[in-house]
Amino acid sequence: MAIFNFKKREIECKIVYYGPGRCGKTTNLEHIFKTYKKQIAGEMVSIDTEGDRTLFFDFLPMGLGKIKGCDVKVQLYTVPGQVQYSSTRKLVLKEVDGLIFVADSLEVRREKNMLSLKDLHENLKSYGTSIFKVPLVMQYNKRDLEEEGIPLMPIEQMDRDLNRQLKAPYFSASAIKGQGVPQTIMECLKRTLLNLQKQLKWAK
Partner 1 sequence: MDPKDQIISLLKEADLYQNQGLLNEAKERYKKATDIIKDSPKIKNGRELIANIVKKVVDLNQKINQINQAASKPTVSDSKQALIKKLFSGGGGSDTFTSAMEGAMALAKFGQFDRALEEFERLLDVEEVRVAAAKNIVRCHLEIEALEDAALCYERWVGDDRFTYAQLDKIRFFLAGRFRKLGFERELYQREETVSDEDMETLEMESATPEMIERRPSVLEDMELPEEDEFLDINSVGIQLPEGRQKGRMVEFDVSFQTGNSINLIISNKESALLEELVEGTKLNDMQFFSPIAILNGSGVVTAKTQIKSGPKEGDYSLDITILTT
16, HSE (Cβ side, Cα atoms, 13 Å): 24
Instruction: Report which DSSP code applies to 96.
Output: -
Q: How far is CA 64 from CA 40, 47, 61, 151, in A?
A: 9, 24, 10, 38
- Looking only at residues 21 through 80 of this chain, which bind partner 1 when binding is defined by CB under 8 A? 21-22, 45, 47-48, 50-53, 55-56, 59, 75
- Measured over the CA atoms of residue 54, residue 16, residue 143 and residue 112, the dihedral's sign is positive
Q: Which is nearer to partner 1, 73 or 191 (CB)?
A: 73
* C-alpha to C-alpha distance for 77 and 149, rounded to whole angstroms: 32
Interacting span for partner 1 (CB under 8 A) from 104-112, 154-162, 166-174, 181-189: 104-112
Residue 30 Cβ, how far from partner 1 at the closest point, in Å? 15
The answer to whether 12 contacts partner 1 (rule: CB under 8 A) is yes
Helix (H) or strand (E) holding 170: strand 170-172
The answer to whether 128 contacts partner 1 (rule: CB under 8 A) is no
> What is the pattern of x (binds partner 1, CB under 8 A) and - over residues 173-192?
--------------------
Helix (H) or strand (E) holding 25: helix 25-35
Phi, psi of 57 (to 5 degrees): -165, 165
The answer to whether 114 contacts partner 1 (rule: CB under 8 A) is no
Residue 124 Cβ, how far from partner 1 at the closest point, in Å? 17
Q: Which residues bind partner 1 (CB under 8 A)?
A: 1, 3-4, 12, 21-22, 45, 47-48, 50-53, 55-56, 59, 75, 84-85, 87-88, 91, 94-95, 106, 108-109, 145, 148-151
